[in-house]
């Protein structure tokens, strides 16, 4: 119990709710920000669909969603043109890291099918963690509103 209370206290102290907002505001026209936010909502839905497909053992579906919705060629040109020019270089690198890690996740999911269950799962979770880490890193660094 005491351990739980201490852990909860630490979580509050170190958690986002209490932390100062140090994110850099990236100015862009409202239309561009709306496209970015719409893409973001789709990123989360895609992640949700990947996890759902993995839970059902549908590796092919999970890999296809990772590649087509989050992977290196997933951003429609119109969206890239609307958002890209407004991004600071570091933010652009983070966006590239997101798409690269999603494509690696697709490969890891496909490869996991011919690996043993333990090794396959470890690789998929590792790749998922790499992907979620890119979401987290950019969200801590930048905002558009």
Q: Does 62 bind ligand HEC (CB under 6 A)?
A: no
Task: Encode 9-69 in three state secondary structure.
Answer: HHHHHHCCCCCCCCCEECCCCHHHHHHHHHHHHHHHHHHHHHHHHHHCCCHHHHHHHHHHH
Measured from the CB atom, the residue of 100 and 120 that comes closer to ligand HEC is 100
CA 108 to chain centre: 16
Contact with ligand HEC (CB under 6 A): which of 8, 24, 37, 80? Answer: 37
- Give least dist CB 112 to ligand HEC, A: 19
- Give least dist CB 101 to ligand HEC, A: 8
Q: Does 139 bind ligand HEC (CB under 6 A)?
A: yes
Q: Is the dihedral of CA 74, 75, 77, 80 positive or negative?
A: negative
Contact with ligand HEC (CB under 6 A): which of 28, 43, 62, 71? Answer: 43
Measured from the CB atom, the residue of 10 and 24 that comes closer to ligand HEC is 24
Which residues lie below 8 Å from residue 143, measured CB to CB, with a gap of 6+? 21, 23, 24, 25, 26
**Residue written as token pair 């407004």:** 86
Contact with ligand HEC (CB under 6 A): which of 50, 95, 105, 106? Answer: 95
- Give least dist CB 28 to ligand HEC, A: 10
- Give least dist CB 5 to ligand HEC, A: 31
Angle of helix 89-112 relative to helix 30-55, nearest 10 degrees, comes to: 20
Binding residues for ligand HEC, rule: CB under 6 A, are 37, 40-41, 43-44, 47, 91, 94-95, 98, 131, 134-135, 138-139, 142-145
């Amino acid at each position: 119990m005491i351990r739980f209370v201490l852990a909860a206290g630490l979580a509050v102290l170190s958690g986002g709710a209490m932390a100062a907002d140090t994110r850099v505001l990236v100015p862009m026209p409202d239309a561009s920000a709306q496209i970015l936010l719409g893409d973001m909502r789709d990123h989360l839905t895609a992640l949700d669909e990947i996890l759902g497909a993995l839970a059902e053992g549908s590796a092919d579906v999970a890999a296809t969603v990772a590649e087509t919705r989050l992977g290196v060629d997933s951003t429609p040109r119109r969206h890239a043109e609307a958002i890209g020019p407004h991004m600071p270089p570091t933010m652009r690198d983070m966006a590239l890291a997101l798409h690269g890690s999603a494509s690696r996740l697709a490969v890891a999911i496909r490869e996991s099918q011919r690996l043993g269950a333990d090794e396959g799962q470890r690789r998929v979770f590792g790749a998922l963690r790499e992907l979620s880490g890119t979401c987290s890193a950019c969200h801590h660094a930048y905002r558009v509103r």
